[in-house]
Amino acid sequence: MPSDLSIVLLTLKVSGAAMLVVVPAGLGLAWLLVRRRVPGRFWIEVLVSLPLALTPVVIGFALLSLLGRNSPVGRLAFDVLGRDIAFTWVAAAIASAVVAFPLSVRAFIVAFATVDRRVEIAARTLGAGPWRVFFTITLPLAYPGILAGVLLGFARALSEFGATIVVAGNIPGQTQTLSLAIFTRISAGNDSAAFGLIGVTVALAAASIAVHNYLLARATSLVRDRAAGSRR
């Protein structure tokens, strides 16, 4: 049986890998939705938010159908990598990314919406290119909300269970994250062993949410200060 530390480290590895996917993709999509007139925006937002409404088991089954060896993606991955994606920690990271994506994107959208476009336009008129404006103007002004979205998505990835157990299984030392390990120990009647992992899970989730709430409050305060300054 893997140690509690290895389970925690695997969970952090899976959640961290998930956020490496969520953050760039989520930032790009959120920026497009806020700053550009994207055709079919309504349906894009519905599709992005769908994992919030679907049971995670359905998401896991959809991912298993997509990543299994009998699927085109699964066969291609097996031919290139020489191994399956399903029932590995990579599959667990993908499942965590899918369920965390909507929460992060919604936070990113709010963060970009708080940035005054007049500042960006002024920078463009002074000769700054779009990438320079994004990295030197937009991101610094939106960073409290962006960090809040990252932490919110990370907290969701830490707690993922339903989609993971379907597409990645519950393999000790390979795909057994904190949620799966707690489930296994409770199912075996080993409640005392589960309490330690529950404590770690609560601590990680509480820390993530506390920092998220702090950054969200800071972002709200910045918006109020800018609004007050513009009225003067």
Taking the chain (232 residues) in consecutive chunks of 10 residues, what is each chunk's mean pLDDT?
84 95 95 88 90 92 90 84 88 95 93 87 86 88 87 90 93 92 91 88 86 74 63 56
Domains of the chain listed by start with CATH number? 4-231 (1.10.3720.10)
Q: What is the 3-state secondary structure (H, E, C) of the chain?
A: CCCHHHHHHHHHHHHHHHHHHHHHHHHHHHHHHHHCCCCCHHHHHHHHHHHHHCCHHHHHHHHHHHHCCCCHHHHHHHHHHCCCCCCCHHHHHHHHHHHHHHHHHHHHHHHHHCCCHHHHHHHHHCCCCHHHHHHHHHHHHHHHHHHHHHHHHHHHHHCCCHHHHHHCCCCCCCCCCHHHHHHHHHHCCCHHHHHHHHHHHHHHHHHHHHHHHHHHHHHHHHHHHHHHHHHC
- The phi, psi pair for 153, rounded to 5°, reads -65, -40
User: pLDDT by residue (tens digit) across 78-109?
Assistant: 888 778 889 999 999 999 999 999 999 999 99
Whether the predicted model's global pTM rises above the 0.75 cut: yes
